[in-house]
Amino acid sequence: MSNITLGSLSYISCEELAEQLHASPLAPSFPSNLAIIDVRDSDHVGGHIRGSTWVPSNELDYKTPELVRNLKDKDVVVFHCALSQQRGPSAALRYLREKERLDPGSKSVTKEGEEIKEGGNKEDGGEESQKVMVLRGGFTQWQEKYGPDKTLTEAWQKDIWEFGY
């Protein structure tokens, strides 16, 4: 049984994430150490965060092990849905638990920098901790602030979001 709970999750604000995207030495390209996973379903229509990967929540059961393997070299993995109240946090929790199951010695950082699993860091030959976070307010809050910004949002359609979620 895993000791990772919803209370263990860290959150990142839209402003903090946008700052990371703009501050990247690769800007306007997506930072190579960051992954954003969008777990919205049919509500994915109308735009998405530039460079994000769409994995509908109904596909997470079989795609989570693949995500863990594909994202192992990322320093930060951010999950979100429309509001980041259910699907986003659940996906982050599922990801952390699967990561723990596949590699019991791995480390992940949760809320307030607490490590979930013990392990080494790069100085003592181990792996660096991966931060797994949830986007506070989800895409709804993101698009309110950054929808029209083509450097941060792709395929945004104002008429879909005009009256909110």
Question: Domain for residue 165, yes or no?
Answer: no
Domain extent, residue 11, equals 6-118+129-149
Whether 16 maps to a domain, the answer reads yes
Residue 161: predicted pLDDT: 73
The DSSP secondary structure of 78-146, one letter per residue, reads EEE-SSSSSHHHHHHHHHHHHHHHH-TT--EE-GGG-BSS----GGGTSPPPEEEEEETTHHHHHHHHH
Give this prediction's pTM: 0.84
Show the tokens assigned to 146: 């950054």
Question: CA-CA distance, 96 to 4, in Å (whole number)?
Answer: 7
| CATH code, domain with 65 | 3.40.250.10
Q: Is residue 163 part of a domain?
A: no
Model pLDDT for residues 72-106, shown as the tens digit of each residue? 999 999 999 999 999 999 999 999 999 999 877 76
Catalytic residue among 18, 21, 81, 116: 81
Is residue 161 a part of any domain in this protein? Answer: no
Question: How, if at all, do strands 130-135 and 10-12 pair?
Answer: parallel
Indicate the number of domains in the chain.
Answer: 1
CB-hemisphere CA count at 13 Å for 130?
23
Domain presence at residue 124 = no
Q: Report the pLDDT averaged over residues 117-129.
A: 44
**What integer pLDDT is reported at residue 120 of this predicted model?**
34
State mean pLDDT over 110-117. Answer: 50
Q: Mean pLDDT, the chain, as a whole number?
A: 85
Say if residue 113's pLDDT is above 80.
no
Verify whether residue 14 is a known catalytic residue: no
In a domain, 136, yes or no: yes
48 beta partners: 154
Residue 97 lies in a domain: yes
28 token code pair: 């306007």
Q: What is the pLDDT of residues 2-12, one digit of tens each?
A: 788 888 899 99
